[in-house]
Every structure is written in structure tokens, then in C-alpha cells.
Chains A and B, each alone.
Chain A
């Protein structure tokens, strides 16, 4: 069965601290995609990144970086020098492949609420 686990329910940091959000996934598919989305208090989910299962290169985008390790089935997300505007719920997701049915459905983790205090 496909599953995404975000073990950290809530994290609180002080501004300028670095913070890592963990994501562990389970799948039997050899081809899959992993995603991170940000949900600020307004409610809209903001797409942050998509990673193909064949691409294990780490990615950096400004203060954001992602560490994808297939050996541990993890796709962790690090925010460097956190800011108050980073406060949000962050969801990790896995695309699901259903044979004979719809493809590309997302399996979401339960989310990690990040609070960055000034």
C-alpha cells in the first residue's frame, strides 16, 4: 500500500533557525513522483517541488532545499534561516498509480505545522 508519513505534527522555531521537515513514504511502484506543498493560514495549497523517483539529486531553491534518498524512502525538506512568513502547514505527497484506473492521484501525509516566531 502507498503511504506517506510525516511524523512531526508541529514544529516551533525562532526566526533565522534552520528547520527540517521529515517525510517518509511507502510504495511498490518503481516510477513515482514526490511533492511538497505549503498551506498558509489562508488555506490555498502552494506547490513547492516535484521530484521524479529516478532523480535523486538534491535540490536547492533559495532558502529551501530537499534531500531525496531512495535507500531510506525519505524526501526531507529543509528551510534555512527561517522567517515568520514560512509559518504554514507543509504537506508531503506521493503520486499514486492505479492500474486500470485513474493515475496521478496524490497520497498526502498528515502535514507538519511549522510556526516561526520572531
Chain B
């Protein structure tokens, strides 16, 4: 299988606080992990791509200092939303690509972030 987990599944925080979301590939090594954002009834928007041991590549319009991504190992990537504001409330989904299956991304269950 190719299982990807995310933690937490839901988080509610106050405006101005920082929130960390973890993405783990449970049964495979992920050479690349992706972070997406999805607004209600909308498609997925790629935020950034991270390769293990190197800096993340951010999509145009995504603030690097706002959304900190760390890919410390082949099974873990973290997204930190710094100084969160209500407009950051969204559904954040990570995906991981295994070395052996070119281009196929396996998605985590998502994290619902609500900033009050």
C-alpha cells in the first residue's frame, strides 16, 4: 500500500498563533511531498513542493514566510502556518510521491484549519 497520514485532522486556533501540520508516509519513502490547499467546493491548489533535505519550492503567490515547510526525512514533512489569520482557514492536504511510482501522488486525509 501507500498510506499517507496527516496530523491533526482538525485544528481550531486563535488569530495570531502558529499551527503545525504533519504529513507522514507510513509504509514507503517519499522522495517528494506536496502541500495543497482546498477551499470549499473548489479544486486543489498546489502551495509548495518539498524534496527531502532541500528547501521547498513555492508556487507563485504563496508566501514562504507565512507557510513554512520542512521536509526533514523521507517520511515526514511539516507545514507551519505562522501568525494565522481567519483567511488562512482552509482544508490543507498533503501528498507524497514514492520513488518507485513515477508521478503518482498519494494523498493524506487532510487537515481542517479554522482560525478564529
- On A, residues with C-beta under 8 Å from B are 33, 35, 37, 42-47, 50, 91, 95, 101-106, 108-111, 113
Cα-based distance from A95 to B46 in the complex (angstroms): 12
- On B, residues with C-beta under 8 Å from A are 2, 32, 34, 41-44, 46, 49, 51, 57, 91, 93, 95, 97, 101-110, 112
Q: Which 8 A-B pairs have the closest CB atoms?
A: A45-B107, A44-B109, A43-B110, A95-B103, A104-B103, A33-B103, A102-B49, A110-B43
Closest to B2 in A: A47
> Which of these, A42, A50, A105, A110, contacts B46 with CB under 8 Å?
A105
Q: Please report whether the interface of chain A is mostly helix, strand, loop or mixed according to DSSP.
A: strand
Taking the closest CB of chain A, its distance from the CB of B22, in whole angstroms, is 16
Q: Is the CB of A104 within 8 A of B107?
A: no
* Given A33-B104, A102-B49, A105-B34, 17 other A-B residues pairs in contact with their CB atoms under 8 A: A33-B103, A43-B93, A44-B107, A44-B108, A44-B109, A45-B95, A47-B105, A50-B101, A91-B44, A101-B57, A102-B32, A102-B51, A104-B32, A104-B105, A106-B34, A110-B42, A110-B43
Known contacts: A104-B32, A108-B43. The answer to whether A43 contacts B91 by CB under 8 A is yes
Closest to A44 in B: B109
User: Which residues of A sit under 8 angstroms from B41, Cβ to Cβ?
Assistant: 113
Q: Is the CB of B49 within 8 A of A105?
A: yes
Known contacts: A102-B57, A104-B32. The answer to whether A109 contacts B43 by CB under 8 A is yes
Q: Is the CB of B107 within 8 A of A50?
A: no
Cα-based distance from A52 to B51 in the complex (angstroms): 24
Q: List 26 A-B contacts (CB under 8 A).
A: A33-B102, A33-B104, A35-B104, A43-B91, A43-B93, A43-B109, A43-B110, A44-B107, A45-B95, A47-B2, A47-B105, A47-B107, A50-B103, A50-B104, A91-B44, A101-B57, A102-B32, A104-B103, A105-B34, A105-B46, A105-B49, A106-B44, A106-B46, A108-B44, A110-B43, A113-B41
Closest to A4 in B: B43
User: Which residues of A sit under 8 angstroms from B97, Cβ to Cβ?
Assistant: 104
User: Which residues of B sit under 8 angstroms from A101, Cβ to Cβ?
Assistant: 57
